[in-house]
Amino acid sequence: MPAATKAAMSLVGSQGIVSATEVLLAAAVFCLVFLLIQSLRQHVPKGLRSPPGPRGFPILGSMLELRKDPHVVLARLSRQYGDVMEVRIGTRPVLVLSGLDTIKQALVKQGEDFMGRPDLYSFRYVTDGQSLTFSSDSGEMWKARRRLAQNALKTFSITPSPTASSICLLEEHVSREAEYLVTKFLQLMKEEKSFDPYRYLVMSVANVICAMCFGKRYDHNDQELLNIVNNTEQFDNVAASGNPADFIPVLQYLPSRAMKLFVDFNKSFVHFVQKFVKEHYETYDKNNIRDITDSLIEQCLDKKVEANPATQIPKEKIVNLVNDLFGAGFDTVTTALSWSLMYLVIYPDIQKRIQKELDQTIGQERRPRLSDQGTLPYTEAFILEVFRHSSFIPFTIPHKGTTRDTVLNGYYIPKDRCVFINQWQVNHDEKLWKDPLTFNPERFLTAEGTEVNKVEGAKVLIFGVGKRSCAGETIGRWQVFLFLTTLLQQLEFSVCDGKEVDMTPVYALTMKHRRCEYFQVKQRFSMRSMS
């Protein structure tokens, strides 16, 4: 008789046989203990050693300690145990990497070893486990499809606008949405209403990616898109590193409101994208490629690639690629812009300095363009400092070593080990940054203050590095720059008198600040037409 069953039977007492639920729970506990003991019997090759780390509690591991602000807790533990550290979350050992050099060694120099995704329970619900971003697949087919998605995203960003050949499509879409925001914010202030800018930023940023993916713009009051963009926290809360159900298997069978909302959100998101993909198939014209979805359909139907299955996209997989591009395209940019506005109202002198730079470099005769990036060093430095200081993506999506056992910094890492990359730690590492808790854009300027120090800028981790880095990083950076400069050229942001801004981040896949309902703006110059 198995040990777990014997133990369960021993729970019979003077009051009779215990309930079936109690027996099952007892059996589950004993099974978990058995798995824990087995996992501890890890064979380490001679001459190597396992990474150090805290012992944690039986069954739970370090989960109780990590239940709040795990990025901060793990950064503190890394000072004790080093840049290569192992913690147990539930019954699962997790490798935690800190330190810029160690992370680049793993994800860039040993990228093939660390480029996969773990087969986590929650990941299975993201586009039915077929997401490019969350899928555990990392083979040649995955690489080929990622390249296709990247090429489509790039093409429909830099293609010249048909209405203004001097700018690209991305500039056209962002300019249109930024102008809407300016008008909307001024309207709210004329009505003497304070407001939460996030509510409007998220719709405008989503409209940019809608235009690129589907060739469509939504009204800001459209309930269909509002239902998607206003519920992203249901995704972020579960997809964040350290979700308990991913590491304590028995929790997968217990009722969870957060998990139900996560599953429902993913279903509604896929349904939203599927509708557009279906419409695009019905109206597809190979001589008129309208947007990213058409471009992917073209690849799907291209007979030239049939000889190489890796580059051929099955029809049913297109929705997964579009879903990834759309999903990543608005949450990261919206969060970056929202944090930017928070810093601007807390540091009004920084806001004034950015506006002075805009006035001296661009003036009021035209709107900012991507080509202005190199001429606005303080603005670029501010954006980098927002990325660093807020570290609103504290961890990359978990990695794993997928191809073979490997060695990192002298430590043995077995195949399929789940890996957390602590970006927050790098962005607040006292070895890299002077006074890392201080918000100071000037740390990214050269001594003369006329250029961005690219070496310092490259140290900031927000989009990940290596083979699994964010496919839309460049497009995301462009959008943040264009939205921010267009808004600051015309508006001055502040908060209502007597109100205090709460900058405390709320931990999730992308950390957001608490909603701020008391923003106000004023117009910097009289409205006039600009080229």
Torsion region of 85: left, alpha or beta (phi above 0 gives left; psi -120 to 50 gives alpha): beta
Closest listed residue to residue 368, CA positions, set 174, 210, 108, 225: 174
DSSP letter for each residue of 160-202? BPSS-TTSBHHHHHHHHHHHHHHHHHHHHHHTT--B-HHHHHH
470: annotated binding-site residue?
Answer: yes
CA torsion sign, 411 to 415 to 418 to 420?
Answer: positive
CA torsion sign, 482 to 484 to 489 to 491?
Answer: positive
Gap between the Cα atoms of 272 and 268, Å rounded: 6
Match 């350290």 to its residue by tokens. 242
Helix axes 232-239, 257-283, angle to 10 degrees: 120
Closest listed residue to residue 326, CA positions, set 208, 491, 492, 413: 208
Gap between the Cα atoms of 281 and 304, Å rounded: 19
CA torsion sign, 389 to 502 to 203 to 372?
Answer: negative
Gap between the Cα atoms of 428 and 391, Å rounded: 9
Strands (E), 273-375: none
Torsion region of 140: left, alpha or beta (phi above 0 gives left; psi -120 to 50 gives alpha): alpha
Summarize the annotated binding site for heme as residue ranges.
470
